[in-house]
């Protein structure tokens, strides 16, 4: 199949090497678990990248050949190079790369940078979660029922300090009463950003078929559209007022 979506699943890959409770759930690493459920999709070409690889897994030739970047990070956010973060944000805003932030990526440098927010939230121990479908006609909600249950997830709770999402696709309820904006879409420059909350390192959410379907749908939604607008395209103002009208 031509024109496959080139997906890079980036993971800091720390808990899965150090924490027995995480190793028990994701012995091959969260990145390989995500790649494994994405691989059967014939419209995708999936690779993984980790913080411990050269250039933190994202040298220019990888980043510049990624259509959608999936990001999982938690305890190593601060180790991610600021120059790399700038390049990721530029790829989204100026060149249309999609960015999917999973779970604790709410505090990752790329997500905070592109949303211009602290990403702070309230959190608590693992409990039962119900994910509610707020926008059934959205492409990311395709094939997802009105609600589904995750038997154990880390409580993430409002207030969640993010910009009001452009599209609110999912909201979560946690046993005990907390609620959280769990599936949030943003349009940023030429790119699209989707944040999805499930995916704590000691919980089995990445094996849940609905979570897998939502991430898969999210990648297809976030993939760049074939726009003729490029970074170097003159602005309308330049065209009319700068004597470059003929180049528009
Ligand atoms: Zn977590």
**DSSP-assigned states of every residue in 166-209:** SEEEEEEEETTS-EEEEEEEEEETTEEEEEE----TTS-GGG-H
Q: Which of 170, 168, 172, 166 is nearest to 192 (CA)?
A: 166
Q: Residue 8: exposed, middle, or buried by beta-carbon count in 10 A (0-12, 13-18, 19+)?
A: buried
pLDDT, residue 228, reads 74
8 A C-beta contact, residue 4 and residue 43: yes
Question: What span, in angstroms and rounded, lies between the C-alpha atoms of 86 and 245?
Answer: 32
| Residue 103 CA to ligand 1 centre (angstroms) | 6
| Residue 187 CA to ligand 1 centre (angstroms) | 25
pLDDT, residue 226, reads 84
| Residue 34 CA to ligand 1 centre (angstroms) | 16
pTM: 0.93
Give the helix/strand (H/E) hosting 97. none
| Residue 154 CA to ligand 1 centre (angstroms) | 6
Q: What is the pLDDT of residues 8-42, one digit of tens each?
A: 999 999 999 999 999 999 999 999 999 999 999 99
| Residue 124 CA to ligand 1 centre (angstroms) | 9
Q: Where are the alpha helices (DSSP H) in the chain?
A: 15-18, 20-25, 30-38, 60-63, 82-95, 109-115, 209-222, 236-241
Question: What span, in angstroms and rounded, lies between the C-alpha atoms of 7 and 5?
Answer: 6
| Residue 76 CA to ligand 1 centre (angstroms) | 13
| Residue 107 CA to ligand 1 centre (angstroms) | 11
* Backbone torsions φ then ψ of 205, nearest 5 degrees: -60, -30
| Residue 86 CA to ligand 1 centre (angstroms) | 25
Please give the structure tokens belonging to residue 175: 């046993």
pLDDT, residue 224, reads 96
Task: Show Cβ contacts of residue 194 under 8 Å, excluding neighbours closer than 6 positions.
Answer: 98, 99, 100, 101, 140, 183, 184, 185, 186, 218, 221, 222
pLDDT, residue 234, reads 53
| Residue 199 CA to ligand 1 centre (angstroms) | 7
| Residue 198 CA to ligand 1 centre (angstroms) | 8
| Residue 152 CA to ligand 1 centre (angstroms) | 11
pLDDT, residue 227, reads 78
| Residue 108 CA to ligand 1 centre (angstroms) | 12
| Residue 102 CA to ligand 1 centre (angstroms) | 10
Chain centroid, CA 238 distance in Å: 35
| Residue 205 CA to ligand 1 centre (angstroms) | 11
Task: Show Cβ contacts of residue 21 under 8 Å, excluding neighbours closer than 6 positions.
Answer: 202
Could you list the pLDDT tens digit for every one of the 248 residues in the chain? 678 999 999 999 999 999 999 999 999 999 999 999 999 999 999 999 999 999 999 999 999 999 999 999 999 999 999 999 999 999 999 999 999 999 999 999 999 999 999 999 999 999 999 999 999 999 999 999 999 999 999 999 999 999 999 999 999 999 999 999 999 999 999 999 999 999 999 999 999 999 999 999 999 999 999 877 765 555 544 444 445 554 44
């Amino acid at each position: 199949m031509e024109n496959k979506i080139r997906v890079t699943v980036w993971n800091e890959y720390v808990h899965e090497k150090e924490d027995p409770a995480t190793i028990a759930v994701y012995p091959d690493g969260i990145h390989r678990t995500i790649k494994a459920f994405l691989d059967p999709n014939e419209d995708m070409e999936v690779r993984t990248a980790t913080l411990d690889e050269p250039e933190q897994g994202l040298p220019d030739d990888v980043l510049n050949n990624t259509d959608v970047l999936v990001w999982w990070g938690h305890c190593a956010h601060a180790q991610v190079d600021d120059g790399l973060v700038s390049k990721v944000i530029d790829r989204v805003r100026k060149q249309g790369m999609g960015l999917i932030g999973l779970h604790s990526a709410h505090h990752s440098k790329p997500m905070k940078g592109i949303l211009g927010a602290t990403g702070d939230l309230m959190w608590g121990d693992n409990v039962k979660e119900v994910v509610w479908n707020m926008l059934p006609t959205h492409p990311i909600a395709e094939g997802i029922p009105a609600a589904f249950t995750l038997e154990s997830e880390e409580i993430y709770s409002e207030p969640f300090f993010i910009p009001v999402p452009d599209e609110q696709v999912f909201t979560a309820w946690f046993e005990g009463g907390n609620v959280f904006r769990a599936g949030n879409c943003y349009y940023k420059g030429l790119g699209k950003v989707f944040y999805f909350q499930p995916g704590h390192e000691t919980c089995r959410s990445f094996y849940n078929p609905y979570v897998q379907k939502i991430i898969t749908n999210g990648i297809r939604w976030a993939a760049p559209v074939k726009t003729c607008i490029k970074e170097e395209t003159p602005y309308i103002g330049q065209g009319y007022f700068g004597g470059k009208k003929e180049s528009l």
